[in-house]
Structure 1
Amino acid sequence: MSVTADLHPAPLAERWAQLQLTNPTTRIRDAARQLGSSEAALLATRCTGQPDAPVLRLTNDFQAILKDVSGLGRVMALTRNDSVVHERKGPYLKTSFQGPMGLTLGEDIDLRLFMQHWHFGFAVTENGRRSLQFFAPDGEAVHKIYLTEDSHAAAYDQLLARYRAPEQSLELATQPAPAPQPETPDAAIDVEGFRAGWRALQDTHDFFGLLRQFGVSRTQALRLGPPELVQRLDNDAIVRGLQAAAAAQLSIMLFVASRGCIQIHTGPVQRLVVTGPWFNVLDPDFNLHLKLEDVAQTWLVKKPTADGVVHSLELYDAQGRNLLLFFGKRKPGIPEQQAWRELISKL
């Protein structure tokens, strides 16, 4: 794959500044697309290397950085895709890695990390907010960590001193994102073998290995799966499900993924608000923003496990990309909550 340089930093910086003047509320992700660039490349235009620079390049020792984030205390973790933003406050605890795979396993901040997709890191100061931001090779954000009023600012300064990159260049070389793999035609799939494997599952995590084994995509699996274990629902099921969970104060799990991180909220939701095209959870320690018009498919999915069947709601966009997974709170070795099964059966 060839490496391409983003637009020359001076013109890009000027055009970004002009866009911010004319549209001051435009978020950087949207600005990057309007300018034909990437979010990371926009940040790089502000890496002047001066003491007052609003953006500082970090070294690529991302595993060490994430382990040291525990010293910052209470922060806000943000992971998003095009259609869903997941924000959770708390400390980073029990961060560990096995090769490129990592985990953060606190009760508040709960992450699955895929470090092969982490390529650029920056420390960013914007409107008084300080953050660590990480990006894939194409410049798309994979994870961000914001300081809160309860964070340890001195520890943050020490972290930046420790991981400041020696080169603070305005230019950024990115690689195009890999093209999606074409879906195998349904007729070439061993559907009966796939269904038998699904019915024999003992752990929800084994489902992804099953997809690889039979060469099926996520949405193809839902189309071809055992009829008694998958059901297509109306796309407003997520709204009704979250409203029901809030009314019952039921502890749930909400998974949102970028290319390099899965972020999980476990607990109840309370304040649900619609703002334009966005359906929002606006709780003190957890915010979720879901662009409802992007939800093209909603499925009720059942997976057998050693602890009984596990039920989930899965949302996909028009390209078949997973937007959000919605489970009842559960832990391995403990059967699923009956209240969750009753809730989801009504959707």
Structure 2
Amino acid sequence: MTNAAHPLVARARRLADELLAPAAERVDQEEVPAAHIAAIKASGLLGVSAPVAYGGAAAPAAVARRTAEILAGACCSTWFVQTQHHTPVLTLANSELPVRERLLGPLARGELLSGVAYAHLRSHPRTPVRVTREGGGWRFAGTVPWYTGWGLNDVMLLAGVTDADEALFAFTEAREQPGLRASAPLRLAALTASRTVSLELTGLRLPDEAVALRLPYPDWAATDRPKTLNTSPAVFGVAEAALALLDEDTAAPLRARLSEVRGRAYALADLPAPQQRAGERPTARPEERLTVRAEAYEVLRAATTAAVAAGGGRALSLSSPAQRLAREALFLLVQGQTAESRRAHLHALASGPH
């Protein structure tokens, strides 16, 4: 079976064409509706990478990337809410702790939607969320600057740093509770609809059985690094949607550039991590990944700018998909950004085309 013929790709396309894209401008100005999430849950897409034994599809990485492209191109806000779910699924799939048996099945089958609250770990050695041992569990204190899907997620995977400099991840219900309070939804230039808030943790207590992962921070950072070097499939999905607004003569050269960069980005993403020697970070060809990532953003910028230019004054209307896609492109520039990826991107912009 080719990736294009995979049933989850067909389901993603049907959701995009029949539900997400027709409502995208309205959703952009309001919020991701619960009906969108219910449709995603029912589609099987939340289990695209989950083990078959737990109700998932265990689909190839290429299928997961293509479904992400389709969803992001149709409604980036909806894509952004549901994409948080896949990290908790993979975390549980690789865990040997008791929480795996409690949650992996419901998450893989789409019975529950999970959010994530861990990007702040990338600011280390700063520790916005501290975790301390308390009784038979753990106490979380600090601030999670960004949490997406508030009011839509059923559970969240929350992370912090322990006194022993460990990264500790644990599940809790995605609701206000003693020790956990959410801000009002953040007003953003793009993806305000994603129901993103900040979380104040004032002594949230979680039991040992809620823990999904606990390991030295450097070990976690080494596994996290490739995620921040590779290009998000959403970049290609939004660029594709922008090119669809252009006439073929204008779109063709940009589409060729997009296809070429996508091919290189995914080839790099599929490379196995090299054998790690002591003190090394196990990422194959990191500089090349960052270079390709910057090139992908440049094609995205060109595609969305072309869509606005082609639409003229009408493209500035909030009812126009061109302006929405251009703002979503700005969001994707900084989504998942680290100091390392920021430096590489700024260097590419300063250097200009070669």
Q: TM-score, normalised by structure 2?
A: 0.22
Structure with bigger strand share is 1
Structure with bigger helix share is 2
Q: TM-score, normalised by structure 1?
A: 0.23
Structure number with greater Rg is 1
